[in-house]
Amino acid sequence: MTAPRIEHVNLTVSDLDRSIALFEDLMGWRTRTRAQHGVRGEFAHVGSDESYLALWADGGDYSGQEKGKPMNHVGLQVPDLTAAEDAVKRHGLETFSHGKYEPGPHSFYFFDWDGIEFEVVCYE
């Protein structure tokens, strides 16, 4: 039996290709599946064998939304915080709120193009 965990988070994005490229670069993930959505638009699952982000592009432009609302953020754990920050910046995004939580991880945050907030953490 598998321990309880988050299997996936489903996010609506404006540009599916752009979001897939970010998470493949940032997390070293792969596109597990990509297809037309049954109602409208297209979706992809980007992640590992254990977990993934379900990204859905329904044709809308969400870039004008208030950032971080209504969801707080999605936490992503990486082995190298500097490499992760470099990946985010390569995609033209800005990082902020760099910090360390005792006794926990070092981290930073960023908003993607649709105003979705991510926290990137590293425990080493």
- Would the pLDDT of 112 be above 70? yes
Q: Is residue 46 part of a domain?
A: yes
Residue 28 domain flag? yes
**Predicted local confidence at residue 83, as pLDDT:** 96
Q: Is the pLDDT of residue 101 over 70?
A: yes
Q: Is residue 2 part of a domain?
A: no
pLDDT tens profile 80-94 = 999 999 999 999 999
pLDDT, tens digit (0-9, with 9 covering 90-100), for 1-57: 557 778 899 999 999 999 999 999 999 999 999 999 888 899 999 999 989 999 999
Confidence band, pLDDT 50/70/90 cuts, at residue 124: confident
Can you give the pLDDT at residue 70?
67
Residue 97 in any domain: the answer is yes
**Domain presence at residue 110:** yes
Structural domain span for residue 69: 8-122
In a domain, 1, yes or no: no
| pLDDT of 2 | 57
pLDDT tens-place string over residues 65-83: 777 766 779 999 999 999 9
Three-class secondary structure assignment of 45-97: EEECCCCEEEEEECCCCCCCCCCCCCCCCEEEECCCHHHHHHHHHHCCCCEEE
Domain CATH number, residue 25: 3.10.180.10
> What is the mean pLDDT of the segment spanning 60-65?
81
Residue 37 in any domain: the answer is yes
- Please give the model's pTM, rounded to 2 decimal places: 0.81
Q: How many domains in the chain?
A: 1
Dist. CA 114–CA 64, nearest whole Å: 7
Please check whether residue 3 lies inside any domain of the structure. Answer: no
